[in-house]
Amino acid sequence: MFKNTYLKSLFFIAMGVCISVLLLSYPFPKLYSLGKYLLFIIIALTIVDWFLLYIIKDKIQIERKVNKKLSMGDLQKINYEISNTLSYPLDIEIFDEFPYQLQERSFSKQTHLYPQSDKIYSHNIRPLSRGVYNFGNVNAFISNLYIGMVERKISFEQNADIAVVPSIIQMKKYELQVFSKTASLAGIRRVRQVGENDEFEHIRNYIQGDNVKAINWKATSRNNQLMVNQYQNSRSQMVYSIIDKGRSMKMPFNGLSLLDHSINAALVISNIILRKHDRAGLVTFSEKIGNIVKAEANQSQLEKIGNVLYKQTTGFLESNFELLFYTLRRYLSRRSIIFFYTNFETPIDLKRNLAYLKSINKKHLLVVISFINTELIESSEMIARNKSDIYYKTFAQKALVDKESLMNQLSIHGIQNILTRPEDLNIKVINKYLEIKAKRMK
């Protein structure tokens, strides 16, 4: 069986031959009659093909299947379910009207669909920005697989507005990894818990082997038997994610800005915090305070945080650390764990704001998270072939050393910090949180 494109070529060649025969063989009646009949057959086939394609609209169905919410920065599938209820095969080429944010200009799916059959095709997309994505119609160019003289375009109304939100996929992925027995294989560190449980839970009967220091003598005297205090791990700690939305967070890595990487990480760690029975909160700021979500541990807290993260955008002004300090002093009355997502590129940036970071760290347990420029790492490891390469390599190496020096300055002043590649952000933040909980840092 010829492919459809070959059939079309053969038909057009045959039509050209027939017309040539008609023009050149007019004096020869037999050849003239043969050409006339062949041309009649081609016209008849074209009419039949057109008629067969005209009646197919309700016999062909194409449906786009896409999640109601898409995760920013992750590969996700769009499925196309195609069904043919006709008694003859078709050649179909699909063109989808993607949202402009995806920049998909060359997408097409071509297939043969046999009688009374269904097919499912998948296409991967990776949304790189939050917002509403408008999907338009699914267009199909359909022709008869056997005849192939006529091609018809049919548009299937599949208009849909899909929200791209902070990564739900990453949130669920790291939740499974943290609470699984094989967490270490995914890079989650198991930190040995030190000390004893320090939060009173209830009084119970003494069991041989219990710590005698936990005996409750008042309860023992009342009940005429040994009673001990039962303790548990400290719970309901307040843990805040603070996200800097200043211009330094607009730097892009792997298609996402540092702000977007921080937003995904804030959603991931908030979910882990709530699963660990602590209270998760959120603060965003730039030259002014953006949103404040008070730390809570109720079921709707994660949705509330996700809705706020969805709306965040990067500004082009310097962030006001002084305003952040006074805002935290006003709204955070209880000592909290703070994961602060920001990016210091020069010693001047850090020096200007170090006093405010030290003040925040006195009242709370502050963890400053900053980012390594992965392009500088690549430049620092390249093979220098000329003077220009030597310059770029030396500059990249110096910039990386300066970045580490900035983080060391924070450590000298007692401020915990994380310096990470954007792609390793989630793992680093989760490990730091688990370390803080295990070592009972306060």
- pLDDT at position 131, please? 92
**How far, in Å, are 96, 153, 158 from residue 137 at the CA level?**
6, 12, 5
303 against 154, higher pLDDT: 303
Q: What CATH fold (topology level) applies to the domain 1-165? A: Immunoglobulin-like (2.60.40)
Mean pLDDT for 132-157 is 84
Q: Which residues contact 196 (CB under 8 A, 6 or more apart)?
A: 211, 231
User: Rounded to an integer, what distance in angstroms lies between the CA atom of residue 423 and that of residue 254?
Assistant: 8
Secondary-structure breakdown of the chain: helix, strand, coil percentages, each rounded to the nearest 5: 45, 25, 30
- Identity (one letter) of the amino acid at 437? K
Residues 6 or more apart whose Cβ sits within 8 Å of residue 362: none
Listed in sequence order, the residues at least 6 apart from 391 whose beta carbon sits closer than 8 Å to its beta carbon are none
> For 235-270, what is each residue's pLDDT tens digit?
578 999 999 999 889 888 888 999 999 999 999 999
Same fold, 1-165 and 168-192+234-438: no
The residue-averaged pLDDT of 335-361 equals: 92
CB 159 within 8 A of CB 66: no
**If DSSP codes are grouped into helix, strand and coil, which group holds residue 100?**
helix
Which range among 5-14, 114-123, 243-252, 294-303 shows the weakest confidence by mean pLDDT? Answer: 5-14
> For residue 225, what pLDDT band results from cuts at 50, 70 and 90?
confident
**Beta-sheet strands, E only, within 28-186:** 60-65, 69-71, 76-84, 90-96, 109-113, 117-125, 131-135, 138-144, 151-156, 160-165
Four-residue CA torsion sign, 129, 135, 136, 140: positive
The fold adopted by the segment(s) 168-192+234-438 is Rossmann fold (3.40.50)
Distance, CA of 96 to CA of 364 (rounded, Å): 51
Residue by residue, DSSP assigns 226-289 as: -EEEEEE-----EEEEEEE-SGGGG-EETTEEHHHHHHHHHHHHHHHHHHTT-EEEEEEESSSE
Q: Output the pLDDT for position 1.
A: 37
| Rounded CA separation 364/415 (Å) | 10
Total-model pTM: 0.79
Token digits for 87?
Answer: 């008694």
Judge whether 238 and 279 are in contact, CB under 8 Å: yes
Instruction: Name residues whose C-beta falls within 8 Å of residue 240's C-beta, 6 or more positions apart in sequence.
Output: 280, 281, 282, 283, 295, 332, 336, 337, 338, 339
Mean pLDDT in residue range 398-427: 91
Q: What is the mean pLDDT of the chain?
A: 83
Q: What residue ranges do the domains of the chain occupy?
A: 1-165, 168-192+234-438, 199-232
Tokens of 347: 């010693």
Indicate if the alpha-carbon torsion angle 18, 24, 27, 28 is positive or negative.
negative
Q: At what angle do helices 301-310 and 258-275 cross, to 10 degrees?
A: 180
| Nearest residue to 253 via CA among 378, 163, 367 | 378
CB–CB of 117/84 below 8 Å?
Answer: yes
